[in-house]
Amino acid sequence: MTAVYIHIPFCERKCSYCDFPSAAGKSRLYDTYAQAVRAEIASTAADLADKRVSTIYIGGGTPSCFPAPLLSSFLSTLRSCLDIPANAEISVESNPHSLSNTWLDELLAAGVNRFSLGVQSLNTKELHHLGRLHTAAEARAAFALLRNAGCLNVSVDLMYGIPDQTSASWRRTFSEVAGDWRPEHLSLYALSIEPGTPFARWKQSGAQPWRWCDDDRTMTMLWSVIDHFAACGYRHYEISNCAREGFECRHNMAYWDTAQSYIGFGAAAHSHCALESRGRTRRFHNVKRIETYIARVLEGGRHRVFARPLPPRALLGERMYMGLRLLDGIGVTEDMRSTFGGAIERLVRNGLLHERGGRIALTRRGVEIANTVFAEFV
């Protein structure tokens, strides 16, 4: 089975913290970009070794600022080229500021059955710091819009570690989401200061008189929301994700299980799958610049960059650290034991992993310094 990702690299405005491949002010490219994505889907499908699709995820960028008829056309093209079962998970990301009844109705009619809503915060100052376009009132209205339209599988994104965010303001945000909204899924993001972003410049120069969150306070915020949602009946199933039973994100589960294939369409999209023309499973990504992607796809140029195959030890290590993102952990094979047995024993001894019934998983402390744990398998 293959997981499909379609990247929409367009935004109304770039957020101050964002280093994702996206651009604002390029709506003139919408039609030709959609044409290129449809062409890429059609040409790739003919060459795809496994044409069975398990999940589809349309992300960005901001898909909700992209015309619904064009998004629907991607799903139509996929259905004409690939084997998509009736129960496939089909997700689309949306932002409160650009979500509308018309856009939503068209996507529901096209078969979308899961929506992710980028709320981040319900505090006006925090939203302003992040450069978000929506207000707390718009976020509440957007969630109500999804529910009133009959959306039964909604994920909400929340962000912690925002400058000037207090424990009290954070608790007010997640308490309202857990108690009043009760989405099926919650994704949690710690604010990361990425090079080249306005946030990185502001923090380095001191241009903004903000109180920046330190690691200890950020970690306290993470556990406060996880424990609160657990008390409300949600399961903390992955480092940064909680869900009601049966609503875990199937698309992301495919990424964390490195044995599964995924194929990405659109500018900057990444893939890990087998193409019949090349035989074995390969990793590759599309060119990042939107205009270059459009031109190369529509003119028959090379729009993909293939990565060198990873050696067996690196593949095994990747399987381990990706699997360990799941709180249920991963079953330890003989290959894992012979290659990383020393690291596993050391991490168990240091209280970062626990081992039960042939499976290893992160402890609470291991979750807090997960990247340190994962480095043992790189």
Cα 113 to Cα 146: distance, rounded to the nearest angstrom? 11
- Domain end residue (candidates: 239, 254, 269): 254
- Asked if residue 280 is part of any domain, the answer here is no
- Asked if residue 274 is part of any domain, the answer here is no
- Asked if residue 271 is part of any domain, the answer here is no
- Domain end residue (candidates: 254, 275, 293): 254
Q: Tell whether the torsion through CA atoms of 63, 12, 143 and 182 is positive or negative.
A: positive
Average pLDDT over the chain, rounded to an integer: 95
pLDDT of 180 over the 80 cut: yes
Q: What is the pLDDT of residue 217?
A: 94
Going by C-alpha positions, the residue among 111, 198, 118, 114 that lies closest to residue 163 is 198
Q: What is the mean pLDDT of residues 214-242?
A: 97
- Asked if residue 272 is part of any domain, the answer here is no
Find the domain containing 356 and state its range. Answer: 312-375
Cα 338 to Cα 371: distance, rounded to the nearest angstrom? 22
242 and 111, same structural domain?
yes
132 and 223, same structural domain?
yes
Residue 65 pLDDT class (50, 70, 90 cuts): very high
CATH classification of the domain holding 331: 1.10.10
236 and 154, same structural domain?
yes
Q: What is the pLDDT of residue 48?
A: 85
Residue 279 pLDDT class (50, 70, 90 cuts): low
350 and 218, same structural domain?
no
- Asked if residue 111 is part of any domain, the answer here is yes
209 versus 37: which is more confidently predicted? Answer: 37
Q: What is the mean pLDDT of residues 30-53?
A: 93
Residue 75, judged by CB atoms within 10 A of its CB (0-12, 13-18, 19+), counts as buried
243 and 318, same structural domain?
no
pLDDT of 1 over the 80 cut: no
Kindly report, residue by residue over 321-336, the tens digit of the pLDDT.
Answer: 999 999 999 999 999 9
Q: How is residue 41 written in tokens?
A: 């889907």
- Asked if residue 277 is part of any domain, the answer here is no
Q: What is the pLDDT of residue 278?
A: 56
208 and 337, same structural domain?
no
Residue 367 pLDDT class (50, 70, 90 cuts): very high
316 and 244, same structural domain?
no
Residue 277 pLDDT class (50, 70, 90 cuts): low
Count the domains in the chain.
2
SS3 of 141-168: HHHHHHHHCCCCCEEEEEEECCCCCCHH
234 and 326, same structural domain?
no
CATH classification of the domain holding 22: 3.20.20.70
- Domain end residue (candidates: 254, 276, 291): 254
75 and 175, same structural domain?
yes
Cα separations in angstroms, 312 against 132, 319, 343, 344: 43, 11, 17, 18
